[in-house]
Amino acid sequence: MIRLIQNELYKTFRLKKLYIFMAVLAVHAWLTVHFYNEGGEWKSVILMPNGQSLPLTLLNSMAQFMTVFIPVYVADLITDEVKTGTLKMSLLRPVRRIEWLNAKIVSLFVFITFLLVFSIAAEYAIGTLAFGWGGQTLYAGSLYTPTEGVWLTLRLTFSMLLPYMACGMIVILIAVLAANISTTIGLSIGMLTAAQYLKAFEHLEPYSIVHQMYFFHEYVHPISGEAASQIIAVIAGYIVVFYLVTAIIVKRKDFIL
Amino acid sequence: MGNKILLEVRGLTKIFGSRTVVDRLDLRMEEGDIYGFLGTNGSGKTTTIRMITGLVHPDAGEVRIGGFDLKSQFKAAISLVGAIVENPAFYPYLSAYDNLKLTANLLPGVTRKRIDEVLDIAGLADRAKDKVGTFSLGMKQRLGIAGALLNRPKLIILDEPTNGLDPQGMRGIKELIAQLAAEQGISFLISSHLLHEVEQICTKAGVIRKGKLIAEGEIRQLLATGVETVEIVTSEPDKAEQLLRTATEVISISRSQDQLTVQTYGDCSFKLNQLLVTSGVQIRTISRRPQTLEQFFLGITEGDGGP
């Protein structure tokens, strides 16, 4: 299992797409800073122009990229392997199908974590180069000392792993069922886009995974919030249910490669 | 070679929708066998191989490899196998060596030295660092065989290994199989369209038709049964033809000047010779043309289309 994970990570870090995604995140941060310099708050989401506030300022907008990056990555990770037959490199070896699936999920987790780490590092660097590090961190209308700010940035950014992984699990199920890459990407992005319209039903909105991909950090900001626990349970539910359904399908699937 | 059973398939059945693709198929290979698995397109060959390698779940039946049940002892069973199913698949953006390294990672005890060894056996040592995306189909097949050899398998399963290859590539694969079987004692299960190749390489063959195994055995035994061709050169072709047409074993007779080509059921050239001699027909030569695997195959799968 460990070696299977090693293989998956080796392939992930050899993928050009990963570096394109990193470039997109960096360019997005740079453009945000650029537009602030051009026209101030009117042209940008930046309210406090300093390096230490930039990652939290851009946390919401990362979701719009992840709703594309995750389907594209998972399509490559699973559907492409099934379609091109490279899946056989694992399944014709002493590897159980469930181990194969678990290795893919671990790989997705590392992929998301890597992009989150990169986004924090890039945004700190770009923000600091443009505005300097600054004296305080601004988040949700409150000011924090630099140490508190860094801790809050790490805590809230990495909390996003949960909704992103839930999104990933939904996409993995689609990827296992889809016959080709474009179906996986199209269906996943289409479904995630459509899920945004759950905001029309106010009572359902908090349970929409897309809503949580944008705003989960706001729910978990107050550590002991009751709403946060409820939302965490719901997202964990998404992960468990979609994992179990996918595991059953993978176990029973006939691979006509 | 011993007589230990290496692969045993019993009652294997697969149904897709309302179509029974493989129907209660039994197959048996002993250690040292090179088994040609023959059948027309859509006869169920690849589905059978997919079931033997665990890619497709059978609806009924069992597969045992080296005595291990594929379903309940999957890891132990598949550890004895190296396989190329359908086409060899690799990551095109990785080198041949890196692709094999990924495979080797999943096999306990496979060292870097072994990767170099199998690349050498497959004749790819000098292309080890090149990306697989630049390889020809023949080289990919060779790399597939190299990958299949990594864990020193007892059985290598090759599904259409010469498909799409040019004559040189075909010869290369054929020679490699013969060499591995002779030098390393590896058994092969080969499904192929190329009956001539199978006849040259394989010791045993099985023919599948509409999901059922309709013939199985050692190739020389299979060829000794069924239709045989006898060529007779005589100074009295009219008389000879007339006499031969009365023989129940004769299927058809074609004539070219003083030569008669007679298709018969089974091994009966001796009988025909006796019939002509006792009737006073002068025979210049009589020769038995051994049945080829192709003739045998076409004889038992007549009307099914090409292999």
What are the C-alpha distances in Å from B111 to residues B104, B146, B150, B241? Answer: 7, 14, 9, 68
Q: Which residues in A lie closer than 8 A to residue B107 (C-beta atoms)?
A: 93-94
> How near does any CA of chain B get to the CA of A79, in Å?
14
Share of chain B above pLDDT 90, in %: 22
C-alpha to C-alpha distance for B229 and B294, rounded to whole angstroms = 13
The region that residue B23 occupies, defined by phi over 0 for left and psi between -120 and 50 for alpha, beta otherwise, is beta
Q: Which residue among A3, A88, A93 places its CB closest to the CB of B89?
A: A88
Q: Look at residues A157, A160, A167 and name the one whose alpha carbon lies nearest to residue A189.
A: A167
Q: Say whether A94 and B74 touch across the interface (CB within 8 A).
A: yes
Choose from A4, A14, A89, A107 for mutation: most chain B CBs within 10 A: A89
Q: What is the mean pLDDT of the segment spanning A239-248?
A: 95
Query: Does B17 contact A at CB distance below 8 Å?
Result: no
Cα A92 from chain centre: 31
- Would the CB atoms of B102 and A11 count as touching at under 8 Å? yes
CA A3 to chain B, closest CA, distance in angstroms equals 6
Determine, for residues B55 and A14 on separate chains, whether the beta-carbon distance falls below 8 Å: no
Q: Is B75 on the interface with A (CB under 8 A)?
A: yes
Residue B228 · residue B236 · CB < 8 Å: no
Residues of B in contact with A91 (CB under 8 A): 54-55
Say if the Cβ atoms of A94 and B75 lie within 8 Å: yes
Q: What ranges do the domains of chain B cover?
A: 5-218, 227-290
Tens digits of residue pLDDT in A195-213? 877 777 777 777 788 888 8
In this complex, do B106 and A85 lie within 8 Å of one another by their Cβ atoms? no
| Non-local CB neighbours of A168 within 8 Å, separated by 6+ positions | A70, A74, A105, A108, A109, A112
Q: How far apart are CA A187 and CA A166, in angstroms?
A: 16
Q: Which residue has the tokens 């299979």?
A: B222
Q: What's this model's pTM, rounded to 2 decimal places?
A: 0.81
Q: Which residues of A fall within a CB distance of 8 Å from B78?
A: 92-94
For residue B142, what pLDDT is reported? 85
Poorest-pLDDT segment among A68-72, A187-191, B6-10, B255-259: B255-259
Band of the pLDDT at B257, cuts 50, 70, 90? Answer: confident
Nearest-neighbour CA in chain A from B97: distance (Å): 14
C-alpha span between B56 and A181 (Å, rounded): 22
Flag whether residue A142 sits within 8 Å of chain B, measured between CB atoms. Answer: no
pLDDT at residue B226 tops 70: no
Rounded Cα gap, residues B156 and B106, in angstroms: 17
Task: Kindly state which CATH superfamily the domain B227-290 is placed in.
Answer: YebC, transcriptional regulation domain (3.30.70.980)
- Looking at residue B1, its pLDDT comes to 44
Q: What is the ipTM of this complex?
A: 0.78
Beta bridge partners of A142: A139
CATH of B5-218, one of 1.10.240.10, 1.20.20.10, 3.40.50.300, 3.30.499.10: 3.40.50.300
Partner A contacted by B85 (CB < 8 A) = yes
Mean pLDDT (whole number) for B216-233: 77
Any CB–CB contact under 8 A between A19 and chain B? no
Output the pLDDT for position B305.
Answer: 52
Q: Considering CB atoms only, which of A3, A84, A252 is closest to B89? A: A84
Q: Which chain A residues touch B106 with a CB distance below 8 Å?
A: 3-4, 7, 90, 93-95
Domain ranges of chain A: 2-252
- Nearest to A89, CA basis, from B144, B21, B151: B144
Angle, CA of B291, B293 and B297, to the nearest 5°: 105
State the burial class of residue B290 (Cβ atoms within 10 Å of its Cβ: 0-12, 13-18, 19+). Answer: exposed
Record the tokens describing residue A73, joined without a space: 């990555």
What size, in residues, is chain A?
A: 257
Q: What is the pLDDT of residue B61?
A: 92
Q: How far apart (Å, rounded) are the C-alpha atoms in residues A56 and A177?
A: 36
Who among B74, B83, B105 is closest to A6 (CB)?
Answer: B105
Kindly give, in sequence order, each residue whose CB lies less than 8 Å from that of residue B155, ignoring residues fewer than 6 positions away.
Answer: B6, B7, B29, B65, B66, B80, B81, B82, B186, B187, B188, B189
**Is A86 touching B (CB cutoff 8 A)?**
yes
**C-alpha dihedral (A85, A189, A67, A82), degrees to nearest 10:** -10
Rounded average pLDDT over A131-145? 85
CA torsion, points A50, A54, A55, A61, in degrees to nearest 10? 180
**Given pLDDT bands bounded at 50, 70 and 90, which one contains residue B97?**
very high
d(CA A136, CA A134): 6
Does the beta-carbon distance from B86 to A85 stay under 8 Å? yes
Question: Which residues lie closer than 8 Å to B211 by C-beta, 6 or more apart?
Answer: B14, B20, B21, B22, B23, B25, B43, B44
Element at A91 (helix H, strand E): helix A88-91
List pLDDT tens digits, range A100-113.
Answer: 999 999 999 999 99
CA distance B179 to chain A (A): 23
